[in-house]
């Protein structure tokens, strides 16, 4: 195998693994938001949007420190 073929297969393998990890994280994150933060009748996407909109207000209240 030439170096370019090896390089291509390594990059493709990494991309597949990265996609799987990100997909798994997003599933877990969505369940977490659904169970802990979504209000009754609110979708996960609506809850994410509401939480994101409220995040700056909490930063200002806490002094902006992370």
How do residues 9-55 score in pLDDT, each as one tens digit?
999 999 999 999 999 999 999 999 999 999 999 999 999 999 999 98
- pLDDT at residue 65 is higher than 60: no
The predicted pLDDT at position 57 comes to 75
Q: Quick one: three-class SS letters along the chain? A: CCHHHHHHHHHHHHHHHHHHHHHHHHHHHHHHHHHHCCCCCCCHHHHHHHHHHHHHHHHHHCCCCC
């Amino acid at each position: 195998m030439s170096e370019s073929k090896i390089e291509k297969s390594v990059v493709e393998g990494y991309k597949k693994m990265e996609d799987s990890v990100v997909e798994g994280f997003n599933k877990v994150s969505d369940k977490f938001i659904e169970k802990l933060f979504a209000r009754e009748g609110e979708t996960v996407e609506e809850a994410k949007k509401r939480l994101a909109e409220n995040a700056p207000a909490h930063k200002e209240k806490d002094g902006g420190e992370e």
